[in-house]
Amino acid sequence: MPQQQNNGRRVVFWPGNEVIPEAAIAAGCRFFAGYPITPSSEMAHIMSRRLPQVGGVFIQMEDEIAAMGALIGASLTGEKVMTATSGPGFSLKQENIGYASMIEVPCVVVNVMRGGPSTGLPTALGQSDIMQARWGTHGDRPVIALTPSYLDEAYMETIRAFNLAEKFRMPVFVLLDEVIGHLSEKIEIPDPSEYELVERPRPKVPPEQYIPYDSSESDIPPLADYFSGYRFHMTGLNHDKTGFPTTNPAICQAENERMMRKVDAHLSEIEKYEEYLTEDADVGVIAFGSTARAAMVAVNDARERGIKAGLLRPITLWPFPEEAARNLGKRSKGIVVPEANLGQLIYEVQRVAGCTGPVVGVNKVGGVPIYPGEILAKIEELA
């Protein structure tokens, strides 16, 4: 596709599944391990071509489980790493996602959601993996999941995903849906001077003094690179600050709480959302991904009909923007939650919004988008 220059920025017309790999490379990603699965397969194809051009490595593994394992290993050598998958592959990755969470390894996992369960609708729209992102692994672990709705936003949110993964030493999810993955629109590629790239905290002590989970100075311990002179143990078992297993209840409790605190104590740095016409809204709408695009049209149509509707669009879906949802709930007669599943986000909204009126869903799982008119009809019912 021909590219133009606009005020020093490169102007491109890319689909979402190309935007994400290009943004990952801009963020410093130099390793991708994956296994083809629609509707994310274009990402693996693009990374197989682009990474060697920038000195990186692409590897196609035998399955999604192995791909996640390879990702963890590459990250431990100090590389910024990414994989891409869809619902069934995301399910297979969950055990190793839990392992990455326990040993606190930075990595980015992109999930282009499709219809399900099982093979479902492999090339069609779905938004049914959001609770899998939150609760997919066993055990308590911190979760960050980003859900861009526009492709320029997807570019910057991918960079932010790498920054968050590196800063907080944890897996970070980028949740697209099939529409965003395959939608093409014009975007301007930001110049590298316009954003910051974050590197993981690394030890400042010599190898013989390094303690891999020493949190005496921060809840986020420095992480040494393997093959750089540092030798240390990592295990999926509960461990003490040395990285070796322990069953001491007090240590296990403290370490798990520390991992959760990495996110809970930094919500202002992690949460991101857009509010559109919410200041005087009588009816609220909360939506994410491609459905939020239809929701914004519905809000505008409602305003034209004299209904004061407003949209809260989580960009960081997890942790969920509870305060913003609560404020919207206090002001609203009711809240509409459109999502391409049979009801997942609605339960989180019901839990936190405190709305005195009804919280109602607009739900479709047939592989086609939710249209603005369908959302508008629910808004009109609550007005």
Same domain, 189 and 279: no
- Is residue 199 assigned to a domain? no
Q: Which of 194, 225, 246 is a domain's end point? A: 194
- Radius of gyration, alpha carbons of the chain: 21
Same domain, 323 and 177: no
For 286-313, what is each residue's pLDDT tens digit? Answer: 999 999 999 999 999 999 999 999 999 9
pLDDT of residue 356: 86
Angle at 167 between CA 221 and CA 105, to 5 degrees: 65
- Is residue 122 assigned to a domain? yes
- Is residue 238 assigned to a domain? no
For 199-212, what is each residue's pLDDT tens digit? Answer: 999 999 999 999 99
Q: Which residues contact 152 (CB under 8 A, 6 or more apart)?
A: 187, 188
Distance CA 286, CA 224 (A): 41
Split at pLDDT 50, 70, 90, the class of 99 is very high
Q: Say whether the peptide bond before residue 15 is cis (omega within 30 degrees of 0).
A: no
Split at pLDDT 50, 70, 90, the class of 370 is very high
Average pLDDT of the residues in 213-234: 96
Q: Which 3-state string (H, E, C) describes 58-72?
A: EEECCCHHHHHHHHH
Same domain, 81 and 176: yes
Q: Which residues contact 37 (CB under 8 A, 6 or more apart)?
A: 64, 85, 86, 88, 89, 122
Average pLDDT of the residues in 55-60: 98
- Is residue 218 assigned to a domain? no
pLDDT at 121 over 70: yes
Burial of 181 (0-12, 13-18, 19+ CB in 10 A): buried
Average pLDDT of the residues in 359-364: 98
pLDDT of residue 231: 95
For 64-96, what is each residue's pLDDT tens digit? Answer: 999 999 999 999 999 999 999 999 999 999 999
Same domain, 284 and 189: no
pLDDT of residue 114: 97
> 0.85 cut: is pTM over it?
yes
Same domain, 177 and 326: no
pLDDT at 1 over 70: no
- Is residue 246 assigned to a domain? no
- How many domains, in total, are found in the chain? 2
Lowest mean pLDDT among 4-18, 22-36, 138-152: 4-18
* Structural domain boundaries, residue 133: 4-194
Same domain, 182 and 296: no
The CATH number given to whatever domain includes residue 123 is 3.40.50.970
pLDDT at 4 over 70: no
For 137-185, what is each residue's pLDDT tens digit? Answer: 999 999 999 999 999 999 999 999 999 999 999 999 999 999 999 999 9
Same domain, 171 and 47: yes
Same domain, 186 and 331: no
pLDDT of residue 3: 61
pLDDT of residue 5: 65
For 249-258, what is each residue's pLDDT tens digit? Answer: 999 999 999 9
- Is residue 207 assigned to a domain? no
Distance CA 27, CA 9 (A): 17
Adjacency order of strands within the sheet including 184-189: 4-6, 9-15, 184-189
The CATH number given to whatever domain includes residue 341 is 3.40.50.920
- Is residue 231 assigned to a domain? no
Q: How far, in Å, are 85, 181, 192, 241, 273 from residue 14 at the CA level?
A: 19, 10, 19, 45, 24
Torsion, CA 243, CA 244, CA 245, CA 248, rounded to 10: -80
Split at pLDDT 50, 70, 90, the class of 9 is confident
- Is residue 206 assigned to a domain? no
Same domain, 35 and 174: yes
pLDDT at 270 over 60: yes
Average pLDDT of the residues in 18-38: 98
**Bridge partners of 379?**
none
Same domain, 187 and 281: no
Q: Which of 171, 194, 217 is a domain's end point? A: 194
Q: Which of 161, 194, 227 is a domain's end point? A: 194
Same domain, 26 and 132: yes
